[in-house]
A = this chain, B = another copy of it.
Amino acid sequence: MAEEIKVHSEEALTEEEIFNQDAPRKKLKVTNAFQQLMNPNKPKPKQQQKPERSTGGNPFKNRMGLGAYLDDPASFPASIVIAHDNEFVVIHDKFPKATVHTLILPRSSKCNLKHPFDAFDDPELLVKVKVQVEKVKSLVAAELQRKLGTYSEAERDRQAVLDGKVDLKPGQDLPKGRDWAKEIKVGVHAVPSMTHLHVHILSRDMHSESLKHRKHYNSFVTEFLVDIDDFPLPKDDPRRRTKEEGYLARDLCCWRCGKNFGAQFKQLKEHLDGEFDKWKRE
């Protein structure tokens, strides 16, 4: 069977190289000190009054952070912004949860503040996104090859033939090498935290220092991650009603062998170290 995605390129994930600065920042705050009165009732864990909220806050802070890429994608180096055109900005996730983790940001202001379930009810947008996804999957596959190809047994078998170190037997095909595209997941979070519409494209290994707690992990290995291929999402799909559901509170289970770690995140992390070593050698 033919590979649909070419994954043997040696290119890294770069298209443009316009350097500039980080996301712009503004500040405007008035700080007032408030006296805390004797409190006869149980205080909620907030103990101080907040200073007055200032008017005219600043863009691209906190949950608005992805807006900076849409606002001026050319201002970022290629190590951050992978590619951009009038329709999309493609970036490296700043806190990658896997060896390769990128985001596709649709630029259209008509849709890019919508919830993905609503935004992708628009078939025109959805088809564009799916086309863009295929392109980015190729880039991510190439990046996996660049980072991990030397460990891969399948790649070594192929390379041995290419290098003339092993001769093909009569009628034998050139070994295919590793199909990295099969190791890539694409989808959106059922309840995103970042405001701007974005699609995750990431390798499935979940091996990353930025993966720091149970919700990080479960948000990519449970139905909380809604595959792009599931769109358009049926009106009655139960994931449309994901709110404070249990997906993220589920037991931690290894994506590769299924082993259950309960709530023991650190134990899972150590196990994932070992699974990563085996996975990259496949």
Contact = CB atoms under 8 A, between A and B. Distances in A.
Interface of A: 38-45, 47, 251, 257-264, 267
A264 B45 contact: yes
B264 A41 contact: no
Q: Decide if the interface of chain A is mainly helix, strand, loop or mixed.
A: loop
A262 B44 contact: yes
Given A47-B267, A267-B47, A38 B257 contact: yes
Contacts of A258: 40
A218 to B, nearest CB: 14
A249 to B, nearest CB: 12
Q: What 9 pairs across the A-B complex have the smallest Cβ distances? A: A42-B262, A43-B262, A42-B251, A42-B260, A38-B259, A47-B267, A39-B260, A41-B260, A39-B259
Contacts of A264: 43, 45, 47
A47 B43 CA distance: 37
Contact of A263 (B45, B260, B262): B45
Contacts of A45: 262-264
A260 B40 contact: yes
Contacts of A251: 42
Nearest to A267: B47
A47 B263 CA distance: 11
Nearest to A262: B42
A267 B261 CA distance: 35
Contacts of A47: 264, 267
A38 B260 CA distance: 9
Contacts of A262: 42-45
